Structures are given as structure tokens and as C-alpha cells.
Structure 1
């Protein structure tokens, strides 16, 4: 019996094409658009404010992904803005207000700031308007991807 290398290669290439098509269809089926939102906070007693700006270089950044009420994940980039402290105007992240109304600050990667970031994450609540905007943005991103995939096909 003669072995035909080309016939074997053709079968292997068909198998690879079939598997890659199945994987592509599966990924397209489970794809969920990724929404990113920037928020900042400037004071331990302050409010979260939505912003379109990037964090300044002296600010601390914390990333987490809460879900909307409908279950869509939103990537939150939380910017903890720095303040000037002391005579030397050291730029520190404010993390606590004590009983004498004094603001405490620490370096970006200190344990105090890490604990403060976890505390802020647990306190974070999306406003109803922001949540509605994220839902709409998610639907629009998904529609844009569908249109682009049909155009490129």
C-alpha cells in the first residue's frame, strides 16, 4: 500500500481549519464587551467622581471590576489623588481623617494605602446614571463588533 503524504496533509489541514473555526465561533458566542470607567477621589471623606482624564503621575491607582445589576462587568480605574503635606509639601495620598480633623497621608505603595484601596473598593457604588450608561455602552460595543465582523467577512 502506497502512502500519499499529500492526502494526509490535506486531512490534517481540514482538521485544523475545523477546530479553529469551532474555537472562533465559541469565543464569539461567549464574548462580553469590556467597559472601562475612570473615577477619582481626592479626600478620605470625599465622593467618587467620574472623570475622562488619566491619573496624574503622583496619584495612586487601584483597579477592580464590580458588576452592574444586570451582571455586566465594568473595569474601574480608581485614581487616588495626592495632596501636599508638611513644610516640604510632600505629595502623599490622603487616607484617613482622625478625630481632630487632621488628614493623614502615606506613600502610594504603603500598607496604609493598600488597606485604604480595599476599603474604597467595598464602599464603591455606581450611580444609576453611570450604570445605565455602562449598559448602553456595552450594547453599542457589541453591535459595533457584530457590524465590523459582517463587513470584514
Structure 2
């Protein structure tokens, strides 16, 4: 039996083409499309927001999340760096303890405390001065204000020390007493101010308390690394962002099919051109005319 190299080559090419088609379709069907999203976390206690990419001085972490349909999405987390007073770009890793306490009290009272934070100790010299001068009206108004401040401070200390009891009757009792004391402070302040009983230093313009007070450090520091690790473990996605992630995964699946079909078509075209060019060259060396597999018998 005479060996037909060209017929064998055609059959091998057909088999390889079939394998190529099966492989490309299998990739499109069975491979999990890669979809990723980036979220920025401005600081401790702040909700994540969608972002395009992380800045160079941000701390970063990576995790995965499941969409509502159970599909995996790669998540890049950017822990935003902020400019410190000395000009360095640092990453916040915790809410400052005093600010954490103030936030708790603001939540209990239902409003942010922007007024000047007076203390009983700061007002005692003015009270003693009023007593020494026999200014009973001023002394009475200052004593009322000091009493309201003392009561508020007592309940504030209990609330901050017992945050974990929120929702209990004891916590609600102290929260209500704290709110009443704050109202008493406002009334006493107004009465003292109207009577010009307050010391002059209390009348200086108050600088508004910043919305966020954080402790910060370099992005590779131990404190920041611990915070980013714990924040990554706690990371969850809201319902609104979840819909966007599902749409992102659908686009990734479409792109995967598009790529598979492009590779499929490109591979088949390349294989056909390679086979045709190889056959043309070999026939030329062997003196075989085009369209035949052997030299004509003479």
C-alpha cells in the first residue's frame, strides 16, 4: 500500500482542528470568568465606596466575595491614606479613643456636640470669685451650670464604660438622664450667658470638632497591617453594590465567550493557512502539481 503523506496530514489537521474547537468551547463553558471590583475604605468606621483603583500610598488588601447568585468576584480593598500634620501620607487604623467616646455620646444624645466643652473644674475659679465678691446671682447661675455639667459627666462616664449594655434598661436610663443633663447644660449656659456670668475665655469662638479623628501610621506598620487584615475579614458588600457585582460578572462572562470565539476563529484560520502553505511548499519540492497528492505517472 502506497503511503499518502498529504492525506494523512489533512486528517491530522482535521483532528487538531476538532480538538481546538472542543477546547475553546470548553473554556468558554466551564472556566469561571474573572471579574474584579475595587472598593476604597476612607477610614475606620467608614463604609466602603466603589473606586477605580488604589493610590500608590494607600494600604491594599485582596479578598473574594460571593454575588447573590453564588459567583465569585475578586475584591481589591484600598485603605485610603490621608495627609498628616507633618505632611506625611498615613493610613488611619483606628478611631482615636477620645473620639470614639464622643461619638458614642453623640449617638446617645442624638446630635453632634459642637459647643465648647466646659468642665466643672474650669468654672470653679469663677464661682469662687463670684462668692468672694458677693455676686450671688452670678454665683447661683455658675453653680447651676456646674451641677448640670457634673451630672452629664457622671452619666457620660457610665455610658462610655458600658457601651456593650446598649439596649438594656440600665443603659436607656443613663442615656435618658444624659440627654436631660445636656438640656440642662444648654439652659444653664443660656442663662449664664444672658447674665454675663461666664468667664471671658468661654466667649472665644469655638473651633468646630472635626467629623473624624483617627490614629494613623505608615501603610506597612504593624498597626495598619493588623487593621487591614481584620477589616478584610469583616468586609461585606451592600445590596446595591451586589447588583453591580452581578452585572460585572455578566460582562466578564460575555468577554470570556468573546475571547473564546476569537481564539477559536483565529486558530482555525491560522491552522488552515499553515496547512495550505506547507502543502504548497512540499508539493513544489516534490514536483507535485497543485490539487494532487502524487507526481503524474509518465
Per the shorter chain, which TM-score range? 0.7 to 0.9
- Once the two structures are TM-superposed, the CA of residue 113 in structure 1 deviates from its matched residue by 3.1
Between the two proteins, the alignment pairs up a number of residues equal to 150
| Map of 2:217 onto structure 1 | 106
Matched, 1:72 2:71: yes
Structure 2: gaps spanning 5 or more residues: 100-212, 266-298
2:59 is the counterpart of 1:63: no
Change (3 A) 1:17 1:114: farther
Q: Which has the higher contact order (CA 8 A, sep 6+)?
A: 2
8 Å Cα contact 2:28-2:256 kept in structure 1? no
Q: Which has the larger radius of gyration?
A: 2
For the residue of structure 2 that corresponds to 1:65, the secondary structure is strand
Stretch moving more, 33-42 or 19-28: 33-42
Equivalents in 1 of 2:251, 2:10: separation in Å?
A: 41
Between the aligned partners of 2:214 and 2:231, the Cα distance in structure 1 is 16
Task: Give the whole-Å Cα distance in 1 for the aligned partners of 2:3 and 2:227.
Answer: 69
2:92 corresponds to 1:94: yes
8 Å CA contact 2:28–2:257 kept in 1: the answer is: no
Counting only pairs closer than 5 Å after superposition, residues 28-67 of structure 1 correspond to structure 2 as 28-51=28-51, 53-67=52-66
| Structural RMSD (CA) | 3.0
Equivalent residues of 2:63, 2:75 under 8 A apart = yes
Question: Which of 238, 244, 250 matches 1:133?
Answer: 244
Alpha-carbon shift at residue 67 of structure 1 (Å): 0.9
Shift of 1:76: 1.8
Of stretches 20-29 and 60-69 in structure 1, the one that deviates more from structure 2 is 60-69
Q: Residues 22-53 of structure 1, C-alpha deviation per residue, up to 9 Å, x if partnerless?
A: 111111112444433221112122221223x4
**Alpha-carbon shift at residue 62 of structure 1 (Å):** 2.1
Q: Which runs of 5+ in 1 are unaligned?
A: none
Query: Distance in 2 between the 1:82 and 1:141 partners?
Result: 30
Distance across 2 between alignment mates of 1:107 and 1:12? 61
More displaced 10-residue stretch of structure 1: 138-147 or 62-71: 138-147
**C-alpha separation in 1, matches of 2:84 and 2:68:** 40
Aligned counterpart, 2:13: 13
Closer/same/farther in 2, CA of residues 144 and 121 from structure 1, 3 Å limit: same
Instruction: Give the helix-richer structure, 1 or 2.
Output: 2
Report how far residue 143 of structure 1 moved: 5.4
